[in-house]
Structure formats: C-alpha cells, structure tokens
C-alpha cells in the first residue's frame, strides 16, 4: 500500500479551441488597418497652448501656431543665408592668409638677396 495512495491524479485538459473564429487575420495589413481603424495619424502634443505634431522624426508646430510656423521658416531661411555668408567669408580669409604668406615669403627672399648684394658690394670696395 502506497504511502499517499493514488488519490492525486489530475485530469487531462481538453484541447484548446481556435483563438479566433474571425477571418480578419487572413486580410492583408492595409485592409486590416482600414477595417479595424488602426490608422491613428501623427501623435500630437499640447504644451502651454502650443500644439506640436511628430512628423518624420521631428516635432513640428501644429496648425494653431501658423504665425509661429511662418516666423520659424523666416528664421531658418535667415539662418541658412547667414551660414552661406559665413562660409564665403571663411574662404575669403583663407585666400587672404595664403596671399599674406606668399607675400611674406617673397619679402624674406628679397631681403636675403639684398643682404647678399650688400655683402658683395662691400667686398669689392
């Protein structure tokens, strides 16, 4: 006679039924989104009365900030213009530095030649 007996014998679980009887899982993704309403649009956020929308990986001011959007576009255009002007000025400075280096080198060569000519003329006397 076993110590605990054969009293504990769990029943077998019945086989599971299919998870879903609908045919929506067989539809393609776009149809499923239309049918189930999975197209929520871009996420929006309201902070201090300003609406922001997340598009293409960046937060962009929403429709209620129309004047702000125009000001932002104007500032971006001005920023781009100033960057181009800054680049042009950098190129000009590089050219001027090259010219200065060339002129300095020529000046040193001329001074050297002048010193040599002076020493030759002093030897002749």
The tens digit of pLDDT for each residue in 44-103 reads 888 877 788 888 888 887 655 556 678 888 999 999 999 999 999 999 999 999 999 999
The answer to whether the beta carbons of residues 10 and 16 sit under 8 Å apart is: no
Give the Cα separation of 84 and 56 in Å (integer).
Answer: 26
Global model pTM greater than 0.75: no
Percent of the chain at pLDDT above 70? 73
């Amino acid at each position: 006679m076993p110590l605990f007996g054969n009293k504990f014998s769990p029943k077998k679980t019945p086989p599971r039924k299919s998870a879903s009887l609908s045919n929506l899982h067989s539809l393609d993704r776009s149809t499923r989104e239309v049918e189930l309403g999975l197209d929520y649009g871009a996420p929006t956020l309201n902070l201090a009365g300003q609406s922001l929308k997340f598009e293409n990986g960046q937060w962009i001011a929403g429709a209620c900030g129309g004047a702000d959007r125009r000001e932002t576009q104007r500032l971006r255009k001005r920023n781009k213009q100033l960057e181009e002007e800054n680049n042009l000025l950098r190129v000009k400075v590089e050219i001027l530095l090259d010219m200065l280096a060339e002129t300095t080198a020529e000046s040193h060569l001329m001074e050297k030649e002048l010193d040599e000519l002076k020493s030759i003329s002093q030897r002749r006397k």
